[in-house]
Amino acid sequence: MVNQTTRVAIIGGGMGGLTAAIALTRIAGVQVTVFEQARKLGDVGAGVAVAPNGQRVLDKLGVLEQVKRAGATPDGHGVYLDSLGNLVAEAAWEDSAKQYQSVGMYRPDLVNVLADEVPADTIRLGHRLTSIQPLDTGVRVEFENGVHDEFDAVVGADGVHSVVRNSLMQLPEPVYSGFIAFRGVIDASILPDDWPMISQVWMGEGKHFMCYPLQQRKLFNYVGFVPSDRPLKESWSAPGDVSELAAEFAGENWDPRLRHFIQLIDKTFWWGLYDHEPLTNWSLGRVTLLGDAAHTMLPHAGQGVNQAIEDSITLAFFLKEAEGAEGIAEAFKRYTAIRMQRTAILQNSSRRSGSQFDEQNEFADIKKRNADLRAGRDFRRSVLFDFDAVKAAEKALKRFRRI
């Protein structure tokens, strides 16, 4: 079995990388080092939704209460609205057992909560990976600042444009989707007193806008999805133009409440949306991928961070079972086999959800779209929210033990 002398490098200190560090330490019992290219953790970004399936994992890891204290639980289910603000469908927000409810998290807050659970001396900031080289007894990593080291294994949690994936596995780059997102947060205290403390999505022709509460309801997250021929590199921090955002949702075809919300925005960021067909492999020898590096997906199902969380605990369970350092490659291969099917389903589901939100033209069957959205509430609850990554990993391990 692997143990505390087994050294694992995690490339990427975002939400996936930090969750992996917690899981690998607490479940697999290995020694981790997290390398992050930024010089500060969690200093940019907007909101993410930690869904019931992600919370179930965080509960197992002992960090759920910390996350909930930093986040915001909505008053109830979210709503899908047409562009004028009329109710189209209700959205799922809790699992079937009503044990876990979606929590809105300010991204820097979530990063900070996770980082607090990782020993500070295991996180290396300002380390941009330049090369990775498999060795007979491990993996060598080199960084732009001249630092280099050797590890028993490497986990690439370095996002959509993963250096680990691109330098080692020669896999295709994610493709620009043709959409950008304007995103950011506003102070909730400036909203009307009767503003609903829930997730809301306004759907119009070729674009949509969503918002939900964060940070114990002190902030409100917003994202406006619009078509664009500017294929911005995926980023949380590129400054955007508030007036351009307002123009996208101006006019009498949009709900006055939404237009008022947008008028309150004083700062926004660009975010280029990239998509990827499911990969055929995430692992090569003692190197594996996790989160966006493994399964880039559009954000319309709200599952990006949650799938990285599921990846993390699954990886930890399989690595724990590895028969010494030489068994790491087999553990990574099995982890990949278990996770690929679920994430492929959600990649396709995210793409389909975005198309549904934007279907409002002369060729669209709006009644069918609306019915599909209503039916989708049960899909999200049963397929997404009720999924237990811990039980799935344990069941898979039993199956592999019999082989």
Give catalytic residues, as residue numbers.
Answer: 212
CA dihedral 60, 65, 70, 74 (to 10 degrees): 90
Residues 6+ apart with CB under 8 A from 354: 177, 179, 225, 298, 300
Residue 375: burial class (beta carbons within 10 Å; 0-12, 13-18, 19+)? exposed
Rounded to 5°, the CA angle 40-230-291 comes to 45
Residue 21 has φ and ψ, to the nearest 5°, of -60, -40
Residues 6+ apart with CB under 8 A from 237: 44, 45, 269
d(CA 82, CA 255): 8
Strands across the sheet with 269-275, in order? Answer: 87-90, 79-82, 200-204, 207-214, 219-227, 175-187, 269-275, 238-239
81 forms bridges with which residues in the sheet?
87, 202
89 forms bridges with which residues in the sheet?
80
Rounded to 5°, the CA angle 387-391-394 comes to 145
d(CA 11, CA 120): 16
Residues 6+ apart with CB under 8 A from 3: 29, 30
Task: With CA atoms as reference, report the closest residue to 18 among 5, 34, 2.
Answer: 34
